[in-house]
């Protein structure tokens, strides 16, 4: 059983699209994404510096466009073919971390590629505006006793915005609270401040939820052609309407990637393919999904390995009946 996953914010790096743009289907997909989002994603993926692509309004569209373009490269399809027409039989489930859920929803046929890109442009810009209201931030807490870590976060008024599994929790809140956490580390834990613009997936993002909900009201959705996992609780989502509602609400609620991985274990996942820019989610999978074979798409040099993974693991679609 093969799951295809899309990475979230923080996975981007300067120049990450340069080798990919040598592939015609990637170049065309990114070009169209630039037109749809109103951003020069070619420049942001090749020549923009780290500070520029750290901007939430830039990072989120860049990540979704990169994931979808790399999936087209794996499938060897053109930029016009709907993913829903070609992905069944070549993947068994889909998931995305945070903003990666929009790429997963497009791959599952819940949204068109164009609507996913329109929504991610709204999402990124709205979250950037919400982050500018109050100085907030995030920090990764690695290791430590889980209960002690959560107690420490609560003590400092922080929220576990991302619970990623493998002993990794991302705390979010005011910059003062993040600094206090760094100064008083939980036992046997490391705390790494993250270079992000604000406290994503917390109540600080409530204004962005309303902007995204308004934009989503005009979008046509379809039920997913493949099981789609939700960051909210790891559930398999069978309804397009439910999937879109969860995508909107998720902006101000924690990402429970640990529960998504638990669902995959329960259903017997054997292979995991991470779309570009890959690496983060396969790293988590190696710690939390023992025995699962992984491939991360970091450059076109990984395409042969990705297609081989698809050939050997796809073909056992998850049953969503109990989770719908």
Q: Report the catalytic residues.
A: 98, 201
Tokens representing 27 are 């170049």
Is the Cβ–Cβ distance between 295 and 307 less than 8 Å?
A: no
Residues in the chain: 324
How far apart, in whole angstroms, are the C-alpha atoms of residue 6 and residue 175? 28
Residues 87-119: b if buried by 16+ CB within 10 A, e if exposed: beebbbbbbbbbbbbbbbbbbbbbbbbebbbbb
Is the Cβ–Cβ distance between 182 and 191 less than 8 Å?
A: yes
Is the Cβ–Cβ distance between 169 and 153 less than 8 Å?
A: yes
Residues 6+ apart with CB under 8 A from 255: 8, 97, 98, 161, 162, 163, 164, 201, 231
Is the Cβ–Cβ distance between 37 and 63 less than 8 Å?
A: no
C-alpha distances in Å from residue 148, one per residue of 159, 254, 257, 284: 14, 19, 20, 21
How far apart, in whole angstroms, are the C-alpha atoms of residue 191 and residue 186? 9
Is the Cβ–Cβ distance between 71 and 3 less than 8 Å?
A: no
């Amino acid at each position: 059983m093969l799951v295809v996953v899309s990475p979230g914010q923080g996975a981007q790096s300067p120049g990450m699209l340069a080798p990919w743009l040598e592939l015609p289907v990637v170049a065309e997909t990114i070009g169209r994404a630039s037109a749809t989002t109103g951003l020069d994603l070619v420049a942001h993926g090749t020549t923009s510096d780290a500070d520029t692509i750290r901007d939430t309004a830039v990072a989120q569209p860049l990540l979704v466009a990169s994931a979808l373009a790399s999936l087209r490269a794996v499938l060897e399809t053109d930029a016009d073919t709907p993913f829903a027409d070609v992905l069944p039989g070549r993947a068994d489930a889909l998931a995305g971390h945070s903003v990666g859920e929009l790429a997963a929803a497009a791959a599952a046929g819940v949204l068109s590629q164009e609507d996913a890109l329109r929504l991610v442009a709204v999402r990124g810009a709205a979250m950037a505006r919400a982050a500018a209201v109050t100085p907030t931030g995030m920090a990764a807490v690695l290791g430590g006793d889980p209960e002690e870590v959560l107690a420490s976060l609560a003590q400092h008024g922080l929220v576990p915005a991302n619970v990623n599994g493998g002993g990794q929790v991302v705390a979010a809140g005011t910059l003062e609270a993040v600094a206090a956490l760094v100064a008083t580390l939980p036992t046997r834990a490391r705390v790494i401040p993250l270079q992000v613009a604000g406290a994503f997936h917390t109540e600080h993002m409530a204004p962005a939820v309303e902007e995204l909900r308004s934009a989503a009201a005009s979008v046509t959705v379809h039920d997913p052609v493949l099981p789609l996992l939700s960051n909210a609780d790891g559930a398999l989502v069978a309804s397009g309407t439910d999937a879109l509602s969860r995508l909107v609400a998720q902006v101000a609620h924690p990402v429970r990637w640990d529960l998504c991985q638990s669902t995959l274990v329960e259903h017997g996942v054997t292979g995991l393919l991470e779309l570009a820019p890959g690496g983060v989610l396969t790293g988590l999978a190696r710690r939390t999904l023992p025995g699962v074979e992984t491939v991360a798409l970091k450059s076109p040099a990984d395409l042969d390995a990705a297609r081989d993974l698809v050939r050997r693991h796809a073909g056992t679609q998850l049953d969503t009946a109990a989770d719908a």
